[in-house]
Amino acid sequence: MPFGSPAPVIYILEPYGGSARTQNPNLPHIFFDDSGITRGDGVFETLLVTDGHVANLERHAERFVRSAKKLDLPTPDVEQWKAASRQAAEDWTAACRGERIDGRLGWSYTRGRAKTGIPTAWLTIQEATVMDRATRVRGLRVLSASRGYTMATGADAAPWRTEAAKTLDYAENMAALRWARANNADDVILTDPGTGRVLEAATASIIAVRRGGKLRTPKPVGGVLQGTGQLAIFEEAEKHGWNCRAKDFNVDYLQRSESVWLVSSVRRAVRVAQLNGKKLPAPANATELAEMFDRALEK
């Protein structure tokens, strides 16, 4: 972190509602027997703090509750999470002393310590790695690769079905990102090994811009997480006359699109400039699109 960055803001929440207290970021707060660290048994959200407010708070709160439910965790008190997030964003903004520094707000909620059985709940705001809009329009080098497994459906699905939960289990996604970087790429688009269906990027949703004012995204099924940013963008774009929907498609479809974007809450929307070594030239409307996407993601 550059000299002079604000210190991370941490709040620890009482999991059944009640108070939130600040935590010194120079001190640890997770115990050895927390199921979050022993088993990855918990859920999380990553939100953008920009211009003094938390973006798309409602969508993240909804997914957070859904994730907790999928994991049979006690339902989090979202009003408490939202209030603590607003308080933390205020603290963050004050610490920035008039400078606009984007924050990455993380919500973490685990099954808690083996000793107590009470969930552990905390949120953090740290300085976001910023990529300016021009760089995002210029774009990323991306590779596609098999995700390595196929989710079963119907009677063959696992009866516990945690697949649509945003759990702490991201070791696989991190391995995918390392692989991309080792192969001279910035990110990776995951595909289903059986069908070649495009799923999602390692830590982002995918949006394809098609001729005739269409936005398309992979269907959020078969282990594809519903992206809060993608939802926000579709809602905004529909107001401006875009035709938006989820659809099954393969990598070839992306290569024949007007433009392809990877969407995540904090990095926002970034154009894919090269896919599997093939250039995807910036379309005339790239900056206009990026502005519309930013509006949706910063709301």
Q: Is 181 exposed, middle or buried (0-12, 13-18, 19+ CB in 10 A)?
A: exposed
Applying CB under 8 A, the residues found at the interface with its own copies are 1, 8, 10, 23, 25, 27-42, 44, 71-72, 106, 108, 110-111, 115, 122, 124, 126, 145-152, 156-163, 165, 167-176, 178-179, 193-194, 223
Q: Give the integer Cα–Cα distance in Å for 207 and 73.
A: 31
- Alpha carbon distances (Å) from 237 to 41, 90, 127, 254: 36, 30, 29, 19
Q: How far is the CB of 23 from its own copies (least distance, A)?
A: 8
Q: Give the integer Cα–Cα distance in Å for 295 and 299.
A: 6
Q: How far is the CB of 209 from its own copies (least distance, A)?
A: 28
Q: How far is the CB of 4 from its own copies (least distance, A)?
A: 16
In this complex, which beta carbon is closest to its own copies, that of residue 149 or of residue 288?
149
- Alpha carbon distances (Å) from 121 to 73, 104, 108, 182, 274: 11, 17, 6, 35, 40
- Please count the other Cβ atoms lying within 10 Å of the Cβ belonging to residue 88: 23
Q: Give the integer Cα–Cα distance in Å for 196 and 125.
A: 37
Q: How far is the CB of 95 from its own copies (least distance, A)?
A: 16
Q: How far is the CB of 162 from its own copies (least distance, A)?
A: 5
In this complex, which beta carbon is closest to its own copies, that of residue 202 or of residue 206?
202
Amino acid identity, position 60: H
In this complex, which beta carbon is closest to its own copies, that of residue 130 or of residue 243?
130
Amino acid identity, position 150: T
In this complex, which beta carbon is closest to its own copies, that of residue 152 or of residue 285?
152
Q: How far is the CB of 294 from its own copies (least distance, A)?
A: 25
In this complex, which beta carbon is closest to its own copies, that of residue 98 or of residue 154?
154
In this complex, which beta carbon is closest to its own copies, that of residue 145 or of residue 270?
145
